[in-house]
Structure 1
Amino acid sequence: METIILAVVIAVLVIGALGGLIVGSRRRKPLPPPPPKTPDITAPPAEPHVGDEAETPRDEPRRTIEEVDLPGGQAPVAVEEPPAPVEAPEIEIPEPTEGRLVRLRARLSRSQNALGKGLLTLLSREHLDDETWEEIEDTLLTADVGVQPTQELVEGLRERVKVLGTRTPEQLRDLLREELLKLVGTDVDRSVKTEPEDRKPGIVMVVGVNGTGKTTTTGKLARVLVADGRTVVLGAADTFRAAAADQLQTWGERVGAYTVRGPEAGDPASVAFDAVKEGKEMGVDVVLIDTAGRLHTKTGLMDELGKVKRVVEKHAPLDEVLLVLDATTGQNGLVQARVFAEVVDITGIVLTKLDGTAKGGIVVAVQRELGVPVKLVGLGEGADDLAPFEPEAFVDALIGD
């Protein structure tokens, strides 16, 4: 009986084990794959990856870069052309200097003849009493003739009027012209010395306070010399004023004059020395040296100009030292003149802006002050408005027609 029960138990266990194996094998059976998803037709195409085959190119004509429109409507970048060669400035032919002041007389007379007309009006009075002569003196002093020259002119006029007696306007005009000419001086050599007999080149140094037109006058003087058939080298020894060398070089280029210059704030004497050296090597007729005109300290200016003069004279003596004065400064210009006269030996005076003042008497005053003649006058802003001073033309402009 026990044997039968044991057999039944074993049979049940065997049947249970076999059932578990069957169920386990069924559970491990792989599930079928899910159905494929429908592609999203709105999704963008996938980006190509490295190694993907490129699309076979379409058979279309190729366009050049000039034919392709850039984004934003921008034009294609053009290839830069090489810069055109800089052409040398055209050389100008200055006006001849002969009779230049006579041609400019009308401009001068417009600003100057107030003096002449005032004197003629006073001299035409029927009775020339002491009060009238005082008015004549005041008129001359107002015109910057100076005290001593005024006294000389009034004394000469009084003597001649007394002898003349009855006076017609023509006689008065002739009388005044003669006395003014005597005062201005007609027997003085007013030529600018640029042609030494024993050597070349002539050496001219131009001095003056900045603001008087010194550098411009130097450039205009180069035009005067070129107009008279001379060859010129310019020395830009005003190294302390910004653009002074550029300004002078521009003047020179217009008439074919070579400019020697140095570094900004360099040694002016060195530039002046090199300018004379270049002038000698080039065989030119004249070397014009523009100098500094700072009046901050009188001693500094003296030392500077004195050094320039000494260094230049290692080549040759200076033929001219021209002082440039602004005629509109009147008596203040005489103070400047005295300072420069102490530094270097002034040989001639250049009066600029003479057409801008009715004080033409400064011509007389500055000559008396320095004992040297006015040699050149500036009558405007034009390139050829610098003229040799001619006493007759000047006096005729003073008293009018």
Structure 2
Amino acid sequence: MDIILIVIAIAVVAVLAAGGLVVGSRRRKQPPAPPPSPGPRPPAEPQVGDEAGEPSDEKRRTIEEVGLPGEGTAAAGTAVAEPPAPEAPPEPEVPAPAAGRLVRLRARLARSQNSLGKGLLGLLSREHLDEDTWEEIEDTLLTADVGVQPTQELVERLRERVKVLGTRTPEELRALLREELLTLVGTEADRTVHTDESVGPEGAEVPGIVLVVGVNGTGKTTTTGKLARVLVADGKSVVLGAADTFRAAAADQLQTWGERVGARTVRGPEGGDPASVAYDAVKEAIDEGADAALIDTAGRLHTKTGLMDELGKVKRVVEKHGPVGEVLLVLDATTGQNGLVQARVFAEVVDITGLVLTKLDGTAKGGIVIAVQRELGVPVKLVGLGEGADDLAPFEPEAFVDALVGD
């Protein structure tokens, strides 16, 4: 028993001695050297949200002193941002006068039509005009879409006059050909686009009403916009009716044309009733005291009876306001004889009063002017000679024939 107590006492003394050694060693361990005193610190890198530049000593405002956007007052020393001024509408363009426009565009017309005049003059200048030569003259005229009946008439008259003339100088032949072509084109027809005011059913004055009709792709909407420029150039005020509700871009296109000359465009919902839009356009023209109302109708395929009947409905609805002064049929001059087929069908649905030939500068078949007039018995009143805004010109027979035969 005594031995056990002695062993325990020795173990306790050993443990206490070991703990003292550990504590002593820890106490003898030197603390780390203090860091060197800092010198001037470099500026810290800016962080997200920090302001650039040196902090200012300006007194900061409290939340009560900060005005809200849109309030009329602000704390002293702060600038109030002015709202942007609304954009002013563009000034309407002043189109060039329409009178004499075809003369100014004669060179452009001559470039496409010169082959007809040169071909005829070359054949007529041959020393011997035998039957083969006259057949070539006929072929030249038919190729230019003059038409069978007008070609036969022209060849017969040329035969007689050349026989009487005897000698044929280039100047005499040119004068002869010019005279005969003018006879075919016609110089007596009324080629004015009638936009005179009329009297409606209730005795009120009604602006001149113009319906623009034609097949898809002939340039009908563009022609309507250009016609507005022609009328504005003549000092008339115009209201446009976007009755082509089946083509999504038609109303936008027409409105753009109208805005350029200060003409308002009346339009309806896409796919809406064209007759309703046409009716509203004429009503607006009456209320505004405008001189003319131009109605752009949907491009109708002449083979679709239902759509053609709808065109007749548009005309009947518009006539509730007053008589329609003009029904202009737009034809693509490059389609040639196919344009005559279209013209016949349109003439059966509405009474065509005038023709507009577009893209006449893009074809050598200027004889379509003669053929379509002969087919319908109505004159060509306007011709398109390019894609420019003022390239729609009143048709002048003399300038047209001069472009054919050259100087």
- Same fold? TM cut 0.5: yes
Q: CA deviation at 1:297?
A: 4.7
Tell me the residue number matched to 1:100.
Answer: 101
CA contact (8 A) 1:298 1:339 kept: no
Deviations 1:309-366 (A, max 9, x none): 0110010010000000010111111111122112111100000010111100000011
Q: CA deviation at 1:86?
A: 3.2
CA contact (8 A) 2:206 2:322 kept: no
CA contact (8 A) 2:198 2:322 kept: no
Tell me the residue number matched to 1:254.
Answer: 260
Q: Which runs of 5+ in 1 are unaligned?
A: 1-31, 42-62, 69-79
Tell me the residue number matched to 1:140.
Answer: 141
SS in 1 for 2:351: coil
Residue 181 (structure 1) aligned with residue 166 (structure 2) = no
Distance 1:208 1:167 in 2: 44
More displaced, 335-344 or 308-317? 335-344
Distance 2:50 2:390 in 1: 56
Residue 296 to residue 157, structure 1, CA distance change in 2 (3 Å): closer
User: Where do residues 41-52 of structure 1 align in structure 2 (5 Å cutoff)?
Assistant: none
CA contact (8 A) 1:293 1:301 kept: no
Residue 102 to residue 296, structure 1, CA distance change in 2 (3 Å): closer
Deviations 1:36-61 (A, max 9, x none): 9x9xx9xxxxxxxxxxxxxxxxxxxx
Residue in structure 1 matching 2:317, options 287, 311, 320 = 311
Q: CA deviation at 1:209?
A: 1.1
Residue in structure 2 matching 1:212, options 215, 218, 231 = 218
Tell me the residue number matched to 2:378.
Answer: 372
Q: Partner amino acid for 1:257?
A: A
Tell me the residue number matched to 1:272.
Answer: 278
Tell me the residue number matched to 1:237.
Answer: 243
Deviations 1:109-147 (A, max 9, x none): 011011001000000111111111000000000000000
Q: Partner amino acid for 2:171?
A: E
Number of residue-to-residue matches in the alignment: 353
Q: CA deviation at 1:165?
A: 1.0
Distance 1:294 1:66 in 2: 67
User: Where do residues 104-143 of structure 1 align in structure 2 (5 Å cutoff)?
Assistant: 104-143=105-144
Q: Partner amino acid for 1:148?
A: Q
Distance 2:90 2:303 in 1: 39
CA contact (8 A) 1:144 1:330 kept: yes
Moved over 6 A (4+): none
User: Where do residues 246-395 of structure 1 align in structure 2 (5 Å cutoff)?
Assistant: 246-295=252-301, 297-395=303-401
Larger Rg: 1
Distance 2:274 2:86 in 1: 33
SS in 1 for 2:329: strand
Residue 171 to residue 283, structure 1, CA distance change in 2 (3 Å): same
SS in 1 for 2:240: strand
Residue 245 to residue 131, structure 1, CA distance change in 2 (3 Å): same
Distance 1:163 1:204 in 2: 48
Distance 1:155 1:216 in 2: 40
**Normalised TM-score (structure 2):** 0.79
SS in 1 for 2:257: helix
Residue 269 to residue 125, structure 1, CA distance change in 2 (3 Å): same
Tell me the residue number matched to 1:164.
Answer: 165
Deviations 1:10-62 (A, max 9, x none): xxxxxxxxxxxxxxxxxxxxxx9xx99x9xx9xxxxxxxxxxxxxxxxxxxxx
Tell me the residue number matched to 2:209.
Answer: 203
SS in 2 for 1:67: coil
Distance 2:87 2:275 in 1: 32
Residue in structure 2 matching 1:67, options 48, 52, 56 = 52
Residue 91 (structure 1) aligned with residue 92 (structure 2) = yes
Distance 1:324 1:193 in 2: 16
CA contact (8 A) 2:356 2:380 kept: yes
SS in 1 for 2:382: strand
Distance 2:267 2:356 in 1: 24
Q: Identical aligned pairs, as a percentage?
A: 83
Distance 2:396 2:368 in 1: 15
Deviations 1:167-201 (A, max 9, x none): 11111111000100000000100000101354331
Residue 252 to residue 127, structure 1, CA distance change in 2 (3 Å): same
CA contact (8 A) 1:249 1:259 kept: yes
Q: CA deviation at 1:296?
A: 7.5
Deviations 1:252-271 (A, max 9, x none): 00000000000011110000
Q: CA deviation at 1:374?
A: 0.2
Distance 1:65 1:283 in 2: 65
**Normalised TM-score (structure 1):** 0.81
Tell me the residue number matched to 2:7.
Answer: none
